Amino acid sequence: MINEILQKYEVTLENVKHLYYRNYTNNSDSPDAKTLFISFAGKIDKYVSATWFYNQNEFIGNFLFLKNDEENYNTYSDDKFSKLIKHYIDHLQITKLITYGPSMGGIASLVYGLKFNADVIIAIDPNPINYDYNNLLYQIQTYPDNYDFKNKIYINYTFINDFNTIPSWTELIIKQLQLKNMLLLVQPFRSIEHLFFIPSKQYLINIINQLSQLKVTNYTAVNKWF
């Protein structure tokens, strides 16, 4: 199946080779047509989960797959990726954006998810590779507070050395996100092997659906317990 997808849908735009396809056939003004799912690969020269949403109706929308294929794995630091993502958002008139990625792809999911104000951001064991994650920390610090709680973030991580040592970058990223008006879900996974946990297709769809459907509002009323 992957060869069929590559032959039909692998293209180059903004000097970035990538995959783009859609799995809806209804009206272009429907919510499905305005949804964009972006998958960022980690330290691998292939597209992550590219077959999962092809010719199926479990999760409907537009799908963009990017890979970190530069020799020193610093692809996502290049401005051409921002230009490419903006092209699809503008061209498709996207109103619902979902970003996803494992390892360095998880870092990219956070970076570009925040940059383009994504509705759902999913980062699986985010790991900076040839990337100064202090840039991400600063990006979070300067991110405007969303009092409508638009952004919903899911982070999974494994431990380092033992089951008590959270990766330092993950801990700092979580602490910075906790200072913002975002719904943040954190799932530690009891393993010291990086990426030992990868969500199944159905688990990933469940995360997206649950976070998308969950409505969060700013509650300011005073509770009276008498």
- What pTM does this model have? 0.93
Instruction: Let me know if residue 27 belongs to a domain.
Output: yes
* Distance between start and end Cα atoms, the chain: 63
Query: How far is the CA of 116 from the CAs of 89, 124, 133, in angstroms?
Result: 9, 19, 18
Q: What is the CA radius of gyration of the chain?
A: 18
Domains: count for the chain = 1
Does a structural domain hold residue 144?
yes
The pLDDT, as a whole number, for residue 225 is 52
Q: Is residue 42 part of a domain?
A: yes
The pLDDT value given to residue 222? 57
Question: What kind and span of H or E run contains 4?
Answer: helix 2-9
Note whether residue 223 is domain-resident: no
Paired tokens of 65 = 């797959």
Q: Is residue 221 part of a domain?
A: no
pLDDT of residue 175: 96
SS3 135: helix
CATH of residue 138: 3.40.50.1820
C-alpha 100: how far from chain center: 3
Structure token pair of residue 147: 């009092």
> Does the residue 218 lie in any domain?
no
Token duo for residue 194: 């990086």
Nearest C-alpha neighbor of 64 from the set 77, 42, 81, 45: 81
Query: 199: domain range?
Result: 2-213
Residue 18 lies inside a defined structural domain of this protein: yes
| Series of mean pLDDT values for 10-residue runs along the chain (226 residues) | 95 94 82 95 91 93 89 73 96 97 96 96 94 94 82 96 94 95 93 95 96 76 54
As a three-state string, the secondary structure of 62-130 is EEEEECCCCCCCCHHHCHHHHHHHHHHHHHHCCCEEEEEEECHHHHHHHHHHHHCCCCEEEEECCCCCC
User: Structure tokens of 215?
Assistant: 């409505």
- Between CA 37 and CA 105 the distance in angstroms is 14
Q: Considering the domain boundaries, does residue 31 fall inside one? A: yes
Please report the pLDDT score of residue 185 as a whole number: 96
- Residue 181's pLDDT is 81
What pLDDT does residue 202 have?
96
